[in-house]
Amino acid sequence: MPESLNHIDKNISKEEKYKQIIIEIKHLIQHENDLIANLANISAILKEIFSFWWVGFYLVKNNQLVLGPFQGSLACTRIQLNKGVCGTSWGQRKTIVVKNVHEFPGHIACSSASLSEIVLPIIRISSNDEQAQVLGVLDIDSEYEAHFDDVDQYYLEELVRECIEPCFS
Ligand code: SME
User: Looking at ligand 1, which atom is closest to the CA of residue 56?
Assistant: 7
Q: How far away, in angstroms, is 169 Cα from ligand 1 center?
A: 26
Count structural domains, the chain. 1
The answer to whether residue 9 is domain-embedded is no
Q: Is the CB of 79 under 6 A from ligand 1?
A: yes
Give me the chain's average pLDDT, please.
94
Q: Is the pLDDT of residue 157 over 80?
A: yes
CATH code for the domain in which residue 92 is found: 3.30.450.40
Q: Is the pLDDT of residue 165 over 70?
A: yes
Whether the CB-CB separation of 156 and 22 falls below 8 Å is answered with: no
Q: Tell me the pLDDT tens digit for each residue of 80-127.
A: 999 999 999 999 999 999 999 999 999 999 889 999 999 999 999 776
Q: Is the CB of 108 under 6 A from ligand 1?
A: yes
Name the pLDDT band for 2 (thresholds 50, 70, 90): low
> For residue 69, what are the domain limits?
14-168
Strand runs labelled E in the chain: 54-61, 64-71, 78-79, 96-98, 116-124, 133-142
Q: Is the CB of 107 under 6 A from ligand 1?
A: yes
The answer to whether residue 4 is domain-embedded is no
Q: Tell me the pLDDT tens digit for each residue of 49-81.
A: 999 999 999 999 999 999 999 999 999 999 999
Which residue(s) pair with 64 in the sheet?
61
